[in-house]
């Protein structure tokens, strides 16, 4: 399904993350949960545009972004949120806010790798870009059943021109927005990684 006439999901994504990255760069204080969860929610339509292969990512990602948005009503910053989970000894529990943040960060990471690969590859197939980004970011944490379903879904990916049409972009304009997201998401992902490492939580779980 194409976006509404004039809708530019890629531009919305790149602008939201540019704002988030400049917030992180301009202050050493805590990143607030509300603007982060808003920026992440703008990414959701992209998973939808990629079709069945990324259905797992869309459902999982959207639920966890919603949890963070809800959390932001009672807890302002990520540092406070993680400290509360550490105190309650719930960090690694299914459904904990900290665990959800780690999963959302992986979704952002996967989109970053996907965009890097789309920019670097020629031709109309997105299969290499999508397979590489999934294998690099998500596959190590997924069981056999999900990996198999994703592999099957890769055959139903849109072609590059179809994806551009869904996003209301051409190759050149899409490249600009993708490069912008790659640069700013690196700052955002780096911030979250540092936060987890500073709390001695690690990132591989």
Q: Is 3 part of a structural domain of the chain?
A: no
Longest CA span, the chain: 51
Q: Is 136 part of a structural domain of the chain?
A: yes
Q: Is 27 part of a structural domain of the chain?
A: yes
> pLDDT tens, 139-173?
999 899 989 989 998 989 999 999 999 999 999 99
User: What percent of the chain lies above the pLDDT cut of 70?
Assistant: 96
Q: Is 4 part of a structural domain of the chain?
A: no
Contact 188, 17 (CB under 8 A): yes
The pTM for the full model equals 0.93
User: Residue 169 has what DSSP assignment?
Assistant: -
22: CATH: 1.10.3520.10
30 burial via Cβ count (<10 Å: 0-12, 13-18, 19+)? middle
Q: Is 1 part of a structural domain of the chain?
A: no
Alpha-carbon distance of 29 to 79, in angstroms, equals: 10
Q: Could you tell me the residue range of the domain that residue 92 belongs to?
A: 9-196
Q: Is 201 part of a structural domain of the chain?
A: no
Alpha-carbon distance of 91 to 131, in angstroms, equals: 30
How many structural domains does the chain have? 1
DSSP string over 94-162: TT-HHHHHHHHHHHHHHHHHHHHHHHH--SS--HHHHHHHHHHHTGGGS-HHHHHHHHHHGGGPPPHHH
At 203 the three-state DSSP class reads coil
Residue 119 to residues 151, 173, 180: CA-CA distances in angstroms? 22, 12, 12
At 187 the three-state DSSP class reads helix
Lookup: tokens for 160: 């590059």
What is the pLDDT, as a whole number, of residue 191? 95
> pLDDT tens, 63-110?
999 999 999 999 999 999 999 999 999 999 999 999 999 999 999 999
Residue 41 to residues 4, 53, 62, 74, 107: CA-CA distances in angstroms? 18, 19, 7, 19, 11
Element counts in the chain: helices (H) and strands (E): 9, 0
Q: Is 205 part of a structural domain of the chain?
A: no
Q: Is 16 part of a structural domain of the chain?
A: yes
Q: Mean pLDDT, to the nearest integer, of 47-55?
A: 88
């Amino acid at each position: 399904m194409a976006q509404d006439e004039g809708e530019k999901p890629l531009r919305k994504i790149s602008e939201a993350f540019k704002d988030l990255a400049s917030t992180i760069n301009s202050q050493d204080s805590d990143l607030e949960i509300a603007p982060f969860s808003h920026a992440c929610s703008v990414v959701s339509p992209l998973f939808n545009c990629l079709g069945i292969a990324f259905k797992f990512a869309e459902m999982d990602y959207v639920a966890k972004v919603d949890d963070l948005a809800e959390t932001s009503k009672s807890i302002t910053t990520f540092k406070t949120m993680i400290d509360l989970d550490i105190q309650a000894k719930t960090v690694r529990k299914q459904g904990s806010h900290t665990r959800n943040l780690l999963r959302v960060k992986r979704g952002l990471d996967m989109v970053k790798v996907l965009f890097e690969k789309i920019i670097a590859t020629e031709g109309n197939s997105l299969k290499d870009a999508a397979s590489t980004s999934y294998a690099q970011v998500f596959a190590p944490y997924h069981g056999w059943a999900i990996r198999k379903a994703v592999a099957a879904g890769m055959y139903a990916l849109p072609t590059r021109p179809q994806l551009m049409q869904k996003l209301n972009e051409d190759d050149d304009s899409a490249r600009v927005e993708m490069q912008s997201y790659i640069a700013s998401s690196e700052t955002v992902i780096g911030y979250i990684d540092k936060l987890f490492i500073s709390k001695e939580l690690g990132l591989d779980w």
